[in-house]
Structure 1
Amino acid sequence: MRADAVRGHLDGLLLAVLEPGPLHGYAIIAAVQQRSAGALELRTGTIYPALNRLERLGLLRSGWQSVGERRRRCYELTDAGRRGLAAERSGWAEFTTAIGSVLNPS
């Protein structure tokens, strides 16, 4: 899938994969790829600026955790992030309904 297809939806994707619990950057990339059946491949240069922005906005918080032999920064949703995810899902439902109406008219 083209990288520009993700533009505008990256925040929702990141919030959604963090909903079950904290993950570090590479695990976030793997979760998006796994949940999209390999259709979406995010790069570190894409997700880390987005994660930092979401943290500045108060939608995520991060902290250092040991993962195996390494210390990694793990990200998790805040209460505001959970509300933001709900808004992203609502917006996505409206978007897909509108696009579906155009692409597949009755």
Structure 2
Amino acid sequence: MAKEKYQNRIELLQGTLDLLILETLRWGAQHGYGIGQAIRARSGEVLQVETGSLYPALHRLEKQKWIKSKWGVTDQNQRAKFYELTKDGKAQLLRDRSKWEAMVQAMAGVLGAVPEAEG
């Protein structure tokens, strides 16, 4: 079973991961582990963001000033860095969502197209 889960993991492109992180933070501030768990849970356990991808993405988004961080304490009483969207991050999320929705429509058009009869 574990091998099957491993084989079914979806590798995320950098832009897609950024979109998922920004969208997750739209629901409120969250620490890194919580962001990864939220993405996994909301995707029906299909999308799993590895630590080696998540934290570099968080640092990149913070450098772009789309998110900001501050230290806090988790529900388990552990010190952690909490991330939240900035005004620029909210604007970027709107742009990214718009691009994503256009891509989904384009893909649906191709995948749902009826093949032309060959003559």
TM-score of the superposed pair, with normalisation by structure 1: 0.94
Alignment partner of 1:92 is 2:100? yes
Write out the 4+ residue segments of structure 1 that deviate beyond 2 Å after TM superposition.
1-4
CA displacement, residues 6-61 of structure 1 (integer Å, 9 cap, x when unaligned): 21301100000000111001100100001101010111111100000000001000
Does residue 82 of structure 1 match 2:118?
A: no
Instruction: Provide TM-score, normalisation by structure 2.
Output: 0.84
The Cα RMSD (Å) is: 1.1
Number of matched residues? Answer: 105
Identity of aligned residues (%): 38
1:102, 1:19 → 2: CA distance?
A: 31
Following TM superposition, by how much is the alpha carbon of 1:66 offset from its aligned partner in structure 2, in angstroms? 1.1
CA distance in 1, matches of 2:73, 2:33: 14
* 2:28 is the alignment partner of 1:21: yes
Structure 1: tracts of 5 or more residues without a match:
none
Mark the runs of 5 or more structure 2 residues left unpaired by the alignment: 1-7, 115-119
Which of 69, 73, 78 aligns to 1:66? It is: 73
Higher radius of gyration, 1 or 2: 2
